[in-house]
Amino acid sequence: MHSREELLACVVARLIGEAKHVAVGAASPIPATGALLLQQKNPSLKVSFLHRRKGNPFTEGSRELFDLAGQGRIDVFFLGGAQIDGEGSINLVRAEGKRFPGSFGSAFMYSVVKKTVLFREEHSKRVLVPKVEFVSARGTPGALLTGKALFSWQGSRFRLESTHEAGDIRGETGFDYDAPAKTPLTPVPTAEDLALLRSSVAQRIAPDYPDFARRVWGIN
Amino acid sequence: MAARAEQLAALVPDGAFLALPPDYSMPSMAVVRELILQKRKNLRLLGVPVLGMCADLLIGAGCVAEVESSAVSLGEAGLAPRFTEAVEKGEIKMRDATCPAVHTALQASEKGVPFMPLRGVLGSDLVKQRTDWQVLQNPFSGGDDPILYIRAISPDIALFHARWADEAGNVWVGRRRELATVAHAAKRTLVTYEELKPGDMLEDELLAPGVISAAYITAVAPAKRGAWPLGIAGVYDIDDAHLAQYAKAARTREGFQRYLEEFVCTAAKSYSPASSPA
């Protein structure tokens, strides 16, 4: 059996695809796991974690990450949102009277990185809304991955591509989207992927995401 | 020259525009605790480019009137509880930014120019909120090419922690060279350090690239484990268990007060010992 986190990491690896350089920002253990999984199979993939505690890839902090991205040297980046809407806009500032941490670098990254993958584990009408209350960032998403489903972007609307298990996605999504007549299930991790995730990938994730590694793989 | 953390804190007046680094980039927690003990008021914090526990402590202790930052959070430990409540209740003013805009504004200051352009960001509601950002035409483009202009930011004071200071007054921040930008841009820069190195680090070819020259440094003070409960790469790690304990305690005002009594009001002196070599 696999965990939900492992399945999501495998989807992340597929979404990164042919990229040369993927960067991972704040508090993103699943995108980080997916990027490292893909790197195990494609060692020429460059993976830069902004928050690496030791051996950080940047010698000028996040300023260097943003300068790299501004030049077009980052192929894939991940953004989340307290709210994500059907137009692909994200909100990291405030919703329903609640304050969230803030926009981080999203307003910049969304428009300069070649492929931005929107990622949020929670899949609910609270998160996936018709219109965000505050636009932290607007852009063209490469895909939207949640804890329940994967959507592609069709120019002006999302399209449901697969669900991770059978369920009422329409009933749990606040925005309208296109869908095939019959939605396939998301492919589950292969035995090879699981073996890599639980050995070399887990060991490399643990120093930067100790709580996550403890929860998913029992590493202390 | 060499002072104590409490003397550095005394150089930060009420109402100062104070630039602080993220939790992963060596905040001077020793001076942050002293600012709380000295009951500093109406500080305006600048997150370079985001803030974490140091800001949450100052906000919870009532030292802060305004925050300008791209985010305030405790990272893997979750939301910054005192920040979140203070903004939701309208107790502090929040000026939302986005990370590269903060870096750009400081880079304009270090070059002594009034503004600097930045790509991206157009379409974000941040542009409507920020009166110090303007969307203008790229003067070098023949066609329509709107671009964001960011007004320079010059903080009154930059405050951070460093691995070393030396006898020439230089400080070493290693790969955290983004701290040099804020030191260049700020009117005054205050730095605590782990250890004193004899001589002048700028004479050492291997150390020099991680050095911020004394030309930018107003005052330094020794503070052993001065970033604790945050870390310095290769010296001591972030104290994740302590951060989780703080995140839980600070969910309520009472829990936060108990945290202050246990770790700030009594312990601050032991993290910035007057007896350290200086």
Q: Is residue B278 part of a domain?
A: no
Number of domains in chain A: 1
Provide the domain limits for residue B122: 115-151
- Give per-residue pLDDT as tens, B6-36: 999 999 999 999 999 999 999 999 999 999 9
Residues A12-19 have a mean pLDDT of 95
Indicate if the pLDDT at residue B272 is higher than 60.
Answer: no
> Is residue B172 located within the same domain as residue B194?
yes
Q: Is residue B103 part of a domain?
A: no
Domain CATH code at residue A116? 3.40.1080.10
- A65, closest residue in chain B (CA to CA): B100
> Is residue B63 located within the same domain as residue B178?
yes
pLDDT at B270: 47
The answer to whether B48 touches B178, Cβ cutoff 8 Å, is yes
> Is residue B140 located within the same domain as residue B160?
no
Residues B84-91 have a mean pLDDT of 98
**Residues in chain A within 8 Å Cβ distance of B71:** 26, 92, 101-104
Residues B112-127 have a mean pLDDT of 97
pLDDT at B209: 95
Measured between CA atoms, how close is B163 to chain A, in angstroms? 15
- Give per-residue pLDDT as tens, A125-173: 999 999 999 999 999 999 999 999 999 999 999 999 999 999 999 999 9
Measured between CA atoms, how close is A66 to chain B, in angstroms? 6
Model confidence band, residue B125 (pLDDT cutoffs 50, 70, 90): very high
- A95, closest residue in chain B (CA to CA): B88
Q: Which amino acid is at A54?
A: K
> 3-class DSSP state for residue A69?
helix
> Is residue B192 located within the same domain as residue B207?
yes
> Is residue B181 located within the same domain as residue B147?
no
Closest CB to B233: pick one of A53, A110, A211.
Answer: A53
Angstrom distance (rounded) from CA A100 to CA B129: 17
Provide the domain limits for residue A44: 4-217
Residues B120-143 have a mean pLDDT of 96
Model confidence band, residue B267 (pLDDT cutoffs 50, 70, 90): low
Closest CB to B175: pick one of A59, A66, A98.
Answer: A59
Query: Residue B160: how many CA atoms within 13 Å on its side-chain side?
Result: 35
Chain mean pLDDT for chain B:
93
Model confidence band, residue B1 (pLDDT cutoffs 50, 70, 90): very low
Indicate if the pLDDT at residue B65 is higher than 70.
Answer: yes
Q: Is residue B76 part of a domain?
A: yes
Query: Residue A96: how many CA atoms within 13 Å on its side-chain side?
Result: 6
List the beta strands (DSSP E) in chain B. 17-20, 43-47, 64-69, 93-96, 115-118, 133-137, 146-151, 157-166, 171-172, 188-197, 211-212, 219-222
Sign (positive or negative) of CA dihedral A79, B77, A10, A185: negative
Question: Minimal CA–CA distance to B201: which of B188, B215, B211, B187?
Answer: B211
Sign (positive or negative) of CA dihedral B155, B161, B166, B172: negative
Two structure tokens written together for A136 = 């932290």
Question: Minimal CA–CA distance to B47: which of B91, B7, B4, B80?
Answer: B80
Model confidence band, residue B76 (pLDDT cutoffs 50, 70, 90): confident
Cβ distance of B176 and A92 shorter than 8 Å: no
> Is residue B128 located within the same domain as residue B88?
no
What is the Cα B231 distance to its own chain's centre? 14
Please give the share of chain A, as a percent, with pLDDT higher than 70.
100
Strands A115-120 and A128-129: unpaired
| Chain A interface includes B118 (CB < 8 A) | yes
Does this complex have an ipTM over 0.85? yes
> Is residue B45 located within the same domain as residue B146?
no
pLDDT at A27: 74
Whole-angstrom CA distances from A193 to A35, B94, B159 are 12, 44, 45
Angstrom distance (rounded) from CA B134 to CA B143: 19
Model confidence band, residue B2 (pLDDT cutoffs 50, 70, 90): low
Write the DSSP symbol of residue B184: H
> Is residue B17 located within the same domain as residue B141?
no
Number of DSSP helices (H) and strands (E) in chain B, helices first: 10, 12
pLDDT at B112: 97
> Is residue B34 located within the same domain as residue B68?
yes
DSSP run (H or E) holding A169: helix A169-172
Residues A199-213 have a mean pLDDT of 91
**Residues in chain B within 8 Å Cβ distance of A66:** 99-100, 103
A97 versus B269: the higher-pLDDT residue is A97
> Is residue B44 located within the same domain as residue B83?
yes
- Give per-residue pLDDT as tens, B213-237: 999 999 999 999 999 999 998 899 8
Residues A68-93 have a mean pLDDT of 96
pLDDT at A135: 98
Domain CATH code at residue B214? 3.40.1080.10
Number of domains in chain B: 2
Q: What are phi and psi of B245, to 5 degrees?
A: -65, -45
Q: Is residue B277 part of a domain?
A: no
Q: Is residue B109 part of a domain?
A: no
Two structure tokens written together for A39 = 């790197």
pLDDT at B278: 34
Residues B199-212 have a mean pLDDT of 97
Q: Is residue B108 part of a domain?
A: no
Indicate if the pLDDT at residue A68 is higher than 90.
Answer: yes
Least confident of A38-47, A90-99, B50-59, B264-273: B264-273
Model confidence band, residue B275 (pLDDT cutoffs 50, 70, 90): very low
| Chain A interface includes B276 (CB < 8 A) | no
- B window 206-235, beta carbon within 8 A of A: 231, 233-234
Q: What is the pTM of this model?
A: 0.93
> Is residue B143 located within the same domain as residue B267?
no
> Is residue B68 located within the same domain as residue B204?
yes
